[in-house]
Amino acid sequence: MFLRRLIFGLFLTTLSYSANAQKAYINPGVDTTDVRIKEVIQFYQSYLGDFKGKKLPDFNKYWSVEDCKNFKIPDPSVYGIGGDYPTVSMATVKTIFYVKPLSDSLYILKTTGGWIDSLKTYNLLYNSNHYIKKTKSKRLEFITPYQYSIDQWESKKVRNVTFFYPKKIKFNSTRADELINQIKKLEKDWNSPPIEIKYFYTLTYDEIQFIRGFDFTLGLGNADKPTGISNQTDNIVYCAGSGENYFHEVVHIYLNPMHKNSPLNEGLAVFYGGSMGHPLKWHIKRLQDYLINHNAIDLGKLDNFYFMDNYTNPNSTILGMFCQLAYDRDKINGLKRMMTYTSIKEILDKEFNIRPENQNEALRKLIYNYKTID
Digit-coded pLDDT (tens) for 23-82? 899 999 999 999 999 999 999 999 999 999 999 999 999 999 999 999 999 999 999 887
Residue 7 has pLDDT above 80, yes or no: no
Residue 220 CB contacts under 8 Å (≥ 6 apart), including other chains: 205, 206, 209
Are residue 108 and residue 155 in the same domain, yes or no?
no
Digit-coded pLDDT (tens) for 327-358? 999 999 999 999 999 999 999 999 999 999 99
Question: What's 221's domain CATH number?
Answer: 3.30.2010
Are residue 238 and residue 263 in the same domain, yes or no?
no
How many domains does the chain fold into? 3
- The average pLDDT across 107-112 equals 98
> Shortest CA distance to 126 belongs to which of 102, 85, 95, 84?
95
pLDDT band at 266 (very low <50, low <70, confident <90, very high): very high
Are residue 267 and residue 226 in the same domain, yes or no?
no
Are residue 168 and residue 244 in the same domain, yes or no?
yes
Helix, strand, coil: what percent of the chain each, to 5? 45, 20, 35
**Confidence (pLDDT) at 310:** 87
Residue 248 has pLDDT above 90, yes or no: yes
- The average pLDDT across 89-103 equals 95
- The average pLDDT across 71-98 equals 92
- The average pLDDT across 195-206 equals 96
**Confidence (pLDDT) at 6:** 53
**Confidence (pLDDT) at 246:** 97
Residue 11 has pLDDT above 60, yes or no: no
Share of the chain above pLDDT 90, in %: 87
pLDDT band at 17 (very low <50, low <70, confident <90, very high): very low
CA distances 206 to 5, 101, 213, 240, Å, are 22, 24, 11, 9
Are residue 141 and residue 7 in the same domain, yes or no?
yes
Are residue 70 and residue 156 in the same domain, yes or no?
no
Is residue 239 within a helix (H) or strand (E), and if so which, with residue range?
Answer: strand 236-240
Residue 15 has pLDDT above 60, yes or no: no
Are residue 184 and residue 202 in the same domain, yes or no?
yes
What is the Cα–Cα distance from 4 to 96, expressed in whole angstroms? 26
Residue 165 structural domain:
149-258
**Confidence (pLDDT) at 16:** 45
**84 or 86: which leads in pLDDT:** 86
Average pLDDT, the chain: 92
Are residue 279 and residue 191 in the same domain, yes or no?
no
Are residue 226 and residue 282 in the same domain, yes or no?
no
pLDDT band at 374 (very low <50, low <70, confident <90, very high): low
What is the Cα–Cα distance from 353 to 43, expressed in whole angstroms? 58
Are residue 123 and residue 168 in the same domain, yes or no?
no
Question: If DSSP codes are grouped into helix, strand and coil, which group holds residue 273?
Answer: helix
Digit-coded pLDDT (tens) for 121-170? 999 999 999 999 999 999 999 999 999 999 999 999 999 999 999 999 99
Which residue among 113, 147, 181 closes a domain? 147
Which residue among 214, 229, 258 closes a domain? 258
Are residue 272 and residue 358 in the same domain, yes or no?
yes
pLDDT band at 2 (very low <50, low <70, confident <90, very high): very low
Which residue among 115, 131, 147 closes a domain? 147
Phi, psi of 340 (to 5 degrees): -85, -15
Are residue 236 and residue 275 in the same domain, yes or no?
no
